[in-house]
Structure 1
């Protein structure tokens, strides 16, 4: 019995779970290799030490990952050991310096609410299966807490507007289950003509709940009206600059300037279709958004496991150090990089939470219908 008790309370194993782990290997790691190897020599290291060190201090909060939809189609997977069927398993997320992820929900057109519920259920099971790597987060403080314990924070969302089923009650139920962002496109109340009165009520209810308003794919009229109605910072979870690439989800300079004025956040995607076929194309979009909207309004969105083709050098979640190295070469200062990778996502999450506290003092749950 004593032997069994010793095994259950082995101090090394018990302490290992709560010890913050480095997000990416670097020369500053606490246990360096005893002797240099060809794989770790400076000549063979493709990313400068400065980029990896910066990501150890300011990990990436990735604004859009499609892993839930990908995992639903796999009969078996192991995210801890490495999974060739996905682009964002735990080894690659750690190597890329990722500290938080927004896990997007992809819903079916014939039963959107049910498929959203099924994917939220899947997210909970996946996070529970890998407790040493992942932790579910519903707020900025929980995201920071996951990071401090060496886990990658998982935030559920965004989900498409159809997931709410044109029902504010359903929206509140999804929020109670952990959904933290809704995309305002593809709904009858958010069309080319802008938001209907019910659409405006959706935005107000999102503010009251503390959920992020995602304007990706929304018409210009809808985006302009949502920026005017929302009291919390809005996001675009996967949009670049239309001045550089004419993809319909990308933003005009006018909207980028309006987003910056409202302290919103444009998460630039690592997508060949939206930003270009090379890593430097993504860096060009980041430069442009930073210049037009400001350094507090630009972030990163990997778009891994979404089916999109990725730029060369950013083909999976391990590529972020190379992108940060490119931005360092372009003269980005560390404070701006810290905002890009981690700070801006945390700011909009906190902004949504502060807005919700104030809104709940002024109004109760909305009973509006389309």
Structure 2
């Protein structure tokens, strides 16, 4: 069904594929007329029932490794994330982080990432009534219509590539959807090297989305210029409101919006503040600077960070949406924030991949050839 849904979207001539066509800027469906007598929280739950949350960052895999036994469908009090609370929070899709534990040796990065990809499959297989693996926008929608929560693999650390494009292709074949471009010799403070640019081109060809959270300003600007597919920042708020190194200054937020990328604002107290209102302030700011089509949500649950009040676990999203509605956010913009913008980004990445595969074969470039 996912393939059929993807085919329903119009195509473009190969020679005109450097820019994504307007059909891939997904508009939110028209919401139902608001009930003037309903409370903001009741309105929020009704809106989320139609446009659930696509959560851009979940640290569940690392948290599960510390538990001797778990059942996510029954519920787990030791975690921030389980199926009952995901349903209560109206979460329809989750990106499961494959980031490595701090201090992982470089020579272990690839094998540790493979271990986590294997765990994704095992956890989803063990919870078939609640979870379903997904890779495309169509598969996410299919999971939702079947009453399941879609699970996507990524972001993973770029160190897992071991400076090999063949490894990138293998990880994509195993389901990797998002790669964080930082912490390597070819994506560092000065920006992308020639090999780094080749990595971005190959990611575009494969449909792997670039995550720029924590990347240097020079790297962010170069990736925005080089990438033919939309990119995201999986854990970035507004630096104008809180000076965290992962948060983005206004000039990069504006550039991200111009490139039709996505800033996924984290529900992490250290990045966005200790209250729902603080998180909403960041969402207001990103929406104003980058545009309503370039803002989304990133729970950062089970990632070892503290969360704002009323947002302590994945059931809390309705409280955040109620705050936005009280601030006067149009329901169409809320629908883009929670669901539509992630769908648009994934469709754009897949469209760019199909176009790139018509233009160029798999890259055989190496670090030594490009940067040696």
- TM tier, shorter chain? 0.7 to 0.9
1:248 corresponds, among 238, 245, 248, to 245
Count of matched residue pairs: 326
After superposition, the CA RMSD in angstroms is 1.1
What's the CA shift for 1:48? 2.1
Aligned to 1:22: none
Aligned to 2:82: 89
Aligned to 1:302: 299
Deviations 1:177-208 (A, max 9, x none): 00000000111101110000000111111100
What's the CA shift for 1:107? 2.0
TM-score (norm 2): 0.86
1:352 corresponds, among 335, 342, 349, to 349
1:155 corresponds, among 145, 152, 165, to 152
| Distance in 2 between residues matched to 1:72 and 1:175, nearest whole Å | 23
The answer to whether residue 141 in structure 2 is matched with residue 144 in structure 1 is yes
2:59 corresponds, among 47, 66, 85, to 66
TM-score (norm 1): 0.87
What's the CA shift for 1:138? 1.1
| Distance in 2 between residues matched to 1:240 and 1:251, nearest whole Å | 6
1:101 corresponds, among 94, 98, 105, to 94
| Distance in 1 between residues matched to 2:168 and 2:73, nearest whole Å | 33
What's the CA shift for 1:144? 0.9
Aligned to 1:195: 192
The answer to whether residue 230 in structure 2 is matched with residue 237 in structure 1 is no
Segments ≥4 residues shifted beyond 4 Å? none
2:215 corresponds, among 215, 218, 226, to 218
Q: Equivalences for 1:356-367 in 2 at 5 Å?
A: 356-367=353-364
- Gaps of at least 5 residues in structure 1 are 1-44
Relative contact order (C-alpha < 8 Å, sep 6+): which is higher? Answer: 2
1:278 corresponds, among 259, 268, 275, to 275
- Gaps of at least 5 residues in structure 2 are 1-37, 368-372
| Secondary structure of the corresponding residue to residue 48 of structure 1 | helix
| Secondary structure of the corresponding residue to residue 54 of structure 2 | strand
Deviations 1:90-133 (A, max 9, x none): 11110000000000112252201001000110010100111111
| Distance in 2 between residues matched to 1:106 and 1:268, nearest whole Å | 18
